[in-house]
Amino acid sequence: MAQLILASSSAYRQQLLHKLKLNFISMSPEIDETALPGETASDLVQRLAEQKARAVALRYPHGLIIGSDQVCVNQGTILGKPGTLANAKAQLLAASGQRLTFYTGLAVFDAANDQMRTLVEPFSVVFRTLSEAQIARYLELEPALDCAGAFKCEGLGISLFERMDGRDPNSLVGLPLIALVELLGQCGIQIP
């Protein structure tokens, strides 16, 4: 089996990939993640997932490389990681009572054979109507400044939702494992 490399420095993605009991290493791809003019959220994450995998392939030309990228869309606007409490509060206020869709691009690149397998996994969450006090309490207890949408669904953030819609809740954390198992299977890696 070719060496498996996760083209990401995200601790969240690494934790998810560990669930599959695979040996892998992680490497930051160091790419420009700026959206192209007119690029849709779906096209953006697919392109970036592929670029991340190809960037890491330069260091591991015989590796099997997993690239992933995610954006959150609220009412047509792509949200980034908030970075500050003020931005997190603004994102959560805008999300109150809304359906947000997360698009996660996934790429598995067999560098030795120059074969790229990709897909985009959508996942939606419907937020409860939240008061400013609820948002402030949430951010005090779990300031998710490094997460698009300003919440952690694997933590207290689940309390912000009315419902979740999609095939794989791991997508919300940044790595759709159900789809990844399928793509790895196409590369000859059977899990379990």
Bridge partners of 63, per DSSP, are none
Of 125, 45, 121, 44, residue with least CA distance to 91: 125
d(CA 7, CA 67): 5
Tokens read off for 104 = 């996660």
Residue with tokens 């790419």: 31
d(CA 109, CA 113): 9
Residue with tokens 């009412």: 75
Is 69 catalytic? The answer is: yes
Strand 25-26 vs strand 4-6: parallel, antiparallel, or unpaired?
parallel
3-state secondary structure of 166: strand
d(CA 40, CA 76): 10
Catalytic residue among 69, 146, 165, 168: 69
The catalytic residues are 69
